[in-house]
Chain A
Amino acid sequence: MRNALTIARREIGAALASPVAYVLFGAFAFLYGYFFADYLQSFVEAGMRMSQMGGFSGGTLNVNTDLLRWLMASTAVLVLFLLPLLSMRTVSEEIRSGTMELLLTAPITDGQIVLGKFLAAFALYGGMLALTGLHVGVLFWFSQPEIAPVLAAYLGLLLLGAGLLALGLFFSSLTRNQIVAGLLTFGALLVLWLVEFAGARGGELGRVLAYLSVTGHMEGFARGVITTRDLVFYLSFAAFWLFLARESVRSRRWRG
């Protein structure tokens, strides 16, 4: 674990020393801010209409179910599009610059290299998500939403990110070109996102496809519902790609 943390620490330092992390954080903050403002405005307008009708419509608005839920689900899609930028350079850059030779001749295992890289990317992603605490905090300031569903949604976002980063790490370990790694990751994620729509057509195959949808499993979390099914999906998804990434690093030794 010490070895993995050593690698993770250097990795985070490198990311914070390059503009990539800041550009990514900035882009995320901007897009998230836009979503937030948009959903908040719709929510407020709906609230106004309801109060004009004097409560005769029968329903009431709830910050958890009518605002945060949709915001969190949209965040999942945003994350899907942005995380390839975070994962693409992790291994590719080491291969390109020759520092992979340093790591592969150090007294550490291939698994520790992959784990270190993963932890670093995950920590940066955590920092990125922390930015949204500002917006959500505003809601808590002016309203009294329930905290538990919000925490569940964040847990879901973290698990989703873990899965996406693990997949990105694998594609990054395939090539010395980080752009290629990024595009491969993006393409794979696009497929894993679109299967949700393909899955909606129903049938046996449809159910399989719907299960494979990376964002589909976010819906429960966004509503504040944690199911074993979703937990197992994300954890096994991350573990699967991390395993492949380790094998890919290992095979690099044989290929030279």
Chain B
Amino acid sequence: MQPLVQVDGVSKRYGKTLAVADLSFGVAKGEVLGFLGPNGAGKTTTMRVITGFMPPSEGRVLVGGLDIAEAPVEVRRRIGYLPENPPLYPEMEVTAFLEFTARLRGVPKGGIRPAVARAIERCALGEARKHIIGKLSRGYRQRVGLAQALVHEPELLVLDEPTAGLDPKQIHETRKLIRTLAGERTVVLSTHILPEVAVTCDRVVIIAGGRLRAEDTPESLVARLGAAQRGRGTWEIETEAPADAAEAALRAVPGVARVEAGPETVERTQVLQVEAAGDRAVATDLARALLEAGCPLYGLRRGGASLEDVFLALTTEEAEANGTGDAAGTPEVAEEGS
């Protein structure tokens, strides 16, 4: 099937800095594509190219078969875009602002009110509809930002870090909203939070240093991560402070590569970060060693697979597969444009 978005060998240079290098991928109709990468990986730049905010230095982007460079206005009509910082006019009322954006996106005159009402309903903005945007909380502003991206019912939604700066409840709601959009609309969203991708996305594109590192479904991504992490894992062990004895005992366990003590907590406990070879059976060994040394065990859990781990795991793997040495060493570019 013809993908809705086709990114074709796109590069973007800011002066001498290469922010995005030869990026190619497609987004199928009705798909939710996660764009995963650390800060400065080129996520925002790529999204700005897709939305027609800026032209690429090289390559081209097709949306619905149209080249952005050739039919910019027609393409932008089909796109709803939520930048990282929601672009809002603080002096306007929510409803007035959404009416303005609907008109700006070419919603016909009679359709503006219903479109705004739908967007308000969707983003649960009913209570805030008559509020001045400048006085809204961060969570509400994000929702207004989402509403303005949705108001003209675009085929393609591009969301740059849609959950950044929200509290957990709002994050949950936003993800739910994005999931309900899937199927009827195509969504491209960027994030640097791994679980978000697993929850909301059908497919993931990982970029680092402006280059494509991996492209897969979240399931196989997790599987690959598991494979990459087999034979090496981090564990968090909580014990009584001071933890010197515990530290020594853990170090003595075969396979332990590194033990690092965290700061003392208010409850006079201390968390030790242990990096150990071997599969999950090593947890039992760690616990046993601790108890035999006479130290109390308050908690033991597998260290969260941080994004950094994923990147190290995935990018080195990709680099090896591609036969290139340089993994994530490309200079970072500030994503805050002028």
Residues of A within 8 A of B (CB): 2-3, 6-7, 9-10, 13-14, 17-18, 95, 97-109, 176, 252-256
Question: A107–B14 Cα gap in the complex (Å)?
Answer: 25
Contact of B101 among A9, A13, A102, A109 (CB under 8 A): A102
Instruction: Check if B148 is an interface residue, CB within 8 A of chain A.
Output: yes
Say whether B76 contacts A256, CB under 8 Å: no
Shortest distance between the CB of B94 and any CB in chain A (Å): 14
Contact of A99 among B45, B89, B105 (CB under 8 A): B89
B residues 46-73 in Cβ contact with A at 8 Å:
48, 51-55, 73
Question: A254–B53 Cα gap in the complex (Å)?
Answer: 9
With both beta carbons as reference points, the residue of chain B lying nearest to A100 in the complex is identified as B87
Contact of A107 among B100, B106, B338 (CB under 8 A): B106
Contact of B54 among A98, A99, A103, A253 (CB under 8 A): A253
Say whether A253 contacts B91, CB under 8 Å: no
Say whether B48 contacts A18, CB under 8 Å: no
Say whether A6 contacts B100, CB under 8 Å: yes
Total B residues in contact with A, Cβ cutoff 8 Å: 33
Q: List 14 A-B contacts (CB under 8 A).
A: A18-B91, A97-B89, A98-B83, A98-B87, A99-B89, A102-B148, A105-B81, A106-B76, A107-B73, A107-B106, A252-B338, A254-B55, A255-B338, A256-B45
Shortest distance between the CB of A138 and any CB in chain B (Å): 36
Top 3 nearest A-B pairs (CB, nearest first) are: A102-B87, A107-B77, A107-B76
Instruction: Check if B266 is an interface residue, CB within 8 A of chain A.
Output: no
Say whether B51 contacts A105, CB under 8 Å: yes
Give chain A residues whose Cβ lies under 8 Å from the Cβ of B101: 102, 106
Q: A3-B104, A107-B73 are in contact. List 4 more A-B contacts (CB 8 A).
A: A14-B89, A98-B83, A108-B73, A253-B53
Tell me whether A101 and B338 are in contact in the complex, defined as CB-CB below 8 angstroms, given that A107-B74, A107-B105 are known contacts: no
Contact of B85 among A2, A17, A98, A253 (CB under 8 A): A98
With both beta carbons as reference points, the residue of chain B lying nearest to A102 in the complex is identified as B87
Say whether A256 contacts B87, CB under 8 Å: no
Question: A99–B83 Cα gap in the complex (Å)?
Answer: 10
Instruction: Check if B232 is an interface residue, CB within 8 A of chain A.
Output: no
